[in-house]
Structure 1
Amino acid sequence: MEFSIMGVVNVTPDSFSDGGQFDDAAQAVAHGRRLAAEGATILDVGGESTRPGADPVPAGEELARVVPVVEGLSGVAQVSIDTMKLDVARAAVDAGASYVNDVSAFRHDPELAGFVADRGLDCCLMHMLGEPRTMQKNPRYDDVVSEVKAFLVERMEAAVAAGVPEERIQLDPGIGFGKTLEHNLELLARLDELAELGRPLVIGTSRKTFIGRLTGRDVTERVHGTVATCVIALERGARVFRVHDVAAVADALKVASATFAAWPTSPKTSTKTTI
């Protein structure tokens, strides 16, 4: 099984996991280089926190945070810009990024889709219920997997209509973005249904709150839980893993991939999880 690791390079003072650790450009670039050395083939640079309850960041401030980091990492690995804003994406691409990771799936700034198409970029379209400030306020679904799947189909069709080639699109079910613990587990258990869409699935479970609820671990101690979710997601069809702890996840996925390749029948089930 082939897979890719997307290393998280947050250039923010308020991200839930590592806010403030790499808000200096030189520190962020050094961190990105370490992640690439550990096995990340994509480096996802973000200057606006999307943690639950986060407030928006003005475009000028976001630009000042990310552009020097993108420039410093250009050529180290494929650089992704984690943004919802066209102006930020444009400046980041001019600085060397070739991938746009938009948590709003081109809803926040619809012109971003046309920009991605015109510049021949890769992109990730993610499901989020509401916006970061509101997404965790009592999220409800009749069937979370079916509703996320329908959303991703609609957003992919909108991107293709704007000129983005389907082969440039990756899809993210948005673990933790407007989901309860039960919703997150349901999505992980039934990722194979989303893999049916035929596009690479991006999974971002790294250090998230639901892992803390299951393990009782602080945000800095959730690497083992993160590894478990990534192995499960690989078996269920995910192919891109957005993580903070690149070395641990890369090693686990190499072993899991080799094992699954020799496994005559993968232990899939369509049974829903019960909590």
Structure 2
Amino acid sequence: MAQVMAIVNRTPDSFYDKGATWGIQRAIERCDEVVAQGASIVDIGGVKAGPGEAVDADAEVDRVVPLIAEISARHPEVILSVDTWRASVAEKAIAAGATLINDTWAGWDPELIEVAGAHGVGYVCSHTGGVKPRTRPHRVHFDDVVADVIAETTTLAQRAVDLGCPPELTFIDPTHDFGKNTFHGLELLRRIDEVVATGWPVLMALSNKDFVGETLGREVGERVAGTIAATSWAASKGVAAFRVHEVKETIDAIRMTAAIQGITAPLATTRGLA
């Protein structure tokens, strides 16, 4: 059954929760909550993905490293991921207990993948179409977006493993909305079996994204149903992990999909049997 990566952002301006876990104590509490709900990976970020206030590397370290250290001590069984594109931040995050680097900007800092390999931690290989971190796509075009995603992410994945990253923690991520429009996002879902067929574990970050909002005509706070539908579809095609805001609801969707497929058994069956 697919894993769930819970999003916990130590930022005051997150697009979805508007800074709900900006405070360190609230961030700790949220980490405890998502672990209790069943998340096996917690992804901790200190910089909003989109345009916004500038955050230098030192400030990013101050935001993420104390939280990683605390959660590593509280939940040693959980994979801790740091969402960063900076090698210097990754070094300190790994020292604090991170065992996965979520490089959402596809190797913008070329030293980041080397840091992951040198420390033998996992690495998320993203696809952004070459756009600069924290910028939005503008009139992007791909001859074949799925082929482009596969070519770039699998090349990164092989390099990560060659450098020392464990294969089971070397994910490829189509990276919806990053350097792509809504039509690209839908095509990636429609053809996600081609990405899964590469053999690399696939991570998808679909949660409340703009492509869901534009498809359904829904604002940020009204995209959960669309997210769950997309997640269920992708889970049925063999996606290995999902980066999400709503952990409990996502786990239910994944479990229900797996039960329909016969991959997992129902948890509590008495109706008509006793």
Common fold, TM-score beyond 0.5? yes
Report what 2:216 is aligned to.
215
Q: Quick check: 1:21 aligned with 2:10?
A: no
C-alpha displacement at 1:165, in angstroms? 4.1
C-alpha displacement at 1:55, in angstroms? 6.0
Report what 1:163 is aligned to.
164
| Residues 92-131 of structure 1: pairs in structure 2 closer than 5 A | 92-105=93-106, 107-129=107-129, 130-131=131-132
Contact 2:108–2:132, Cα closer than 8 Å, also in 1: no
C-alpha displacement at 1:68, in angstroms? 1.5
Contact 2:68–2:93, Cα closer than 8 Å, also in 1: yes
Q: Quick check: 1:62 aligned with 2:63?
A: no
Distance 1:56 1:156, change over 3 A: farther
| Residues 142-181 of structure 1: pairs in structure 2 closer than 5 A | 142-181=143-182
Report what 1:139 is aligned to.
140
What does the per-residue CA deviation read over 1:221-258, in whole Å, with 9 as the maximum and x for residues that have no partner? 21111111100111122110000000111011101111
Distance 2:126 2:228 in 1: 21
Q: Structure 1 counterpart of 2:64, which letter? A: V
Distance 2:113 2:149 in 1: 20
Normalising by structure 1, we get a TM-score of 0.89
Distance 1:166 1:48 in 2: 27
Q: Secondary structure at the match of 1:225?
A: helix
Unaligned runs of 5+ in 1: 264-275
Contact 1:102–1:124, Cα closer than 8 Å, also in 2: yes
Contact 2:146–2:187, Cα closer than 8 Å, also in 1: yes
Distance 2:101 2:154 in 1: 18
Report what 1:273 is aligned to.
none
C-alpha displacement at 1:8, in angstroms? 0.2
Report what 1:43 is aligned to.
42
Report what 1:268 is aligned to.
none
C-alpha displacement at 1:131, in angstroms? 2.3
C-alpha displacement at 1:205, in angstroms? 0.6
Q: Quick check: 1:83 aligned with 2:81?
A: no
Distance 1:172 1:55 in 2: 26
Contact 2:154–2:172, Cα closer than 8 Å, also in 1: no
Distance 1:262 1:59 in 2: 43
Residue number among 71, 74, 82 corresponding to 1:73 in the alignment: 71
Contact 1:11–1:19, Cα closer than 8 Å, also in 2: no
Distance 1:56 1:151 in 2: 28
What does the per-residue CA deviation read over 1:49-76, in whole Å, with 9 as the maximum and x for residues that have no partner? 113x346520011011111211221142
Q: Secondary structure at the match of 1:29?
A: helix
Distance 1:104 1:223, change over 3 A: same
Q: Structure 1 counterpart of 2:91, which letter? A: R
Q: Structure 2 counterpart of 1:218, which letter? A: E
Distance 1:249 1:229 in 2: 11
- RMSD of aligned alpha carbons: 1.8
How many pairs does the alignment contain? 260
Unaligned runs of 5+ in 2: 265-274
Distance 1:220 1:120, change over 3 A: same
Q: Secondary structure at the match of 1:13?
A: coil
What does the per-residue CA deviation read over 1:196-220, in whole Å, with 9 as the maximum and x for residues that have no partner? 1111100101011121122232212
What does the per-residue CA deviation read over 1:148-170, in whole Å, with 9 as the maximum and x for residues that have no partner? 11111221233234333434311
Contact 2:5–2:43, Cα closer than 8 Å, also in 1: yes
Contact 2:4–2:244, Cα closer than 8 Å, also in 1: yes
Q: Quick check: 1:32 aligned with 2:31?
A: yes
Normalising by structure 2, we get a TM-score of 0.89
Distance 1:167 1:32 in 2: 23
Distance 1:258 1:151 in 2: 33
Q: Secondary structure at the match of 2:49?
A: coil
Distance 1:54 1:196, change over 3 A: farther
